[in-house]
Structure 1
């Protein structure tokens, strides 16, 4: 990966509480397609229950993983004052179907989401962020880029943010995103072009990678790594325009931000020690990034960038490129 120049803002404060649960009590619920609001797919929603209006995070799960398999991570994020909506799009949806389903969910949010939330809890759809893990991370990038088609990457449609029927994403967070099995084996759309800062979008980007994601849990029996080099987190960051952040959780694996009950089943994924630390780390980074670009509060993100040691896991490297260089 071509390393982008580091540009950070140093603050005097060296403390942050984003890695600990927030002040809001939260409630998880599942909304089925049979619900009166007619969501296009089943949804796992985690929301604060206190009266108020909250920003919304749309979360795309990994390939063949359950949306509620991230409940501890999503509860952590929601406890800091966010409504998290996680569509269930696989199985049996194809990659194309995943993008189309989540696109339909974004259209459902404004009318349907207020009707399934606790009383006096309101979503601020104008303050909408997008995130995803693994292949769901690629789906999130494809949505932000407006790439819903199966066609060659040289035949791009207009960006989704220019569609007046869809809300605008104000932040994009890829959690160990993966574009395919290898550079030569990437499903459509092939959003990676291997050109620095080539992604045609203005949304701020954070990429969280894992140090073990490119390692196989059982190389002797031919099990490939979950996040191979060339199609993983480093290339997604390399192609993102500023403002863009990069965090590498060096001692953890591709599925360590999942709940234990599902992560324990994924024996093909090399794991680190103490997944709770990884969930807190990922959740804290997500919260800090959302606070910066949805609420205009940069303090926590600046603290993490200037002193990565405040995180509950080892983050190395940490890169924050705030603007294009002349």
Structure 2
């Protein structure tokens, strides 16, 4: 019994110690000022905003290579035991392919199953909502180097400090400086650009400083690339299959190409529901959902509000959406063929 009493006494003492106790304060001068929890936070107590890096890195092993002769994509996973893990990278001529061992360019046919790669993509890159997600990266680096080294992909200002403030470049005569085509560059041509940096040693300062071994300027050629015009208005291609539309495309008064929503949705295997009272259409495909309302430049996708600058319209009793709806809202890859036809790839 004595043991039991001790435990009970100890438990009561603990409860008294930990339990909140309300005490009425005297009105005298000894009472402390009570600050309500809604009181404003002092500026010194506020947490500073964290600057997000321009480019996001995803590293893993290539588990699949899909090449139909026209499109090339690789499935990269960092956890092969998870069927939903990974990311699909679509590779086109704009993607910079590199080997970290040689620090040189490689061709797409060298990408093989089992290779470890790092993909870098702009933080604003359009990504599908599928599992795994799909996107077109800016840079792919094959990891084969045995010696330690670091690759940093970022925009740098004229002082050669990265946009996130983590790295400063001290370029010397030994630093190789080239553009994406392999042309040699002067030091003055790299400031204010998006760069791929190869380096090994850096200081522990903030920002860290390094003398890079190699710098590649990611900027695309300055020459103007003329995109083919959409001239085929009654057909489009989805996953290499030509589809005839029930309603033709047209340009509105502002010159924006408008697409028939129902034809597009059904071609992409979305289920579409129309609410005549609210003039709203809902599109669903598995876990993917989006909604549009006639006359409102508010496009909902995955609980995000997207504005395209053009509201949905009704023409000949059919709902139309702007051309940008495909990439910006449905997050599909779109190209215009040389024959002037829209081609959509999932």
Same fold, judged at TM 0.5 (above) = no
Larger RCO (alpha carbons 8 Å, 6+ apart)? 1
More helix per residue: 1
The TM-score range, normalised by the shorter chain, is: under 0.3
Specify which structure has the higher proportion of strand. 2
- Considering only CA atoms, is the larger Rg found in Structure 1 or Structure 2? 2
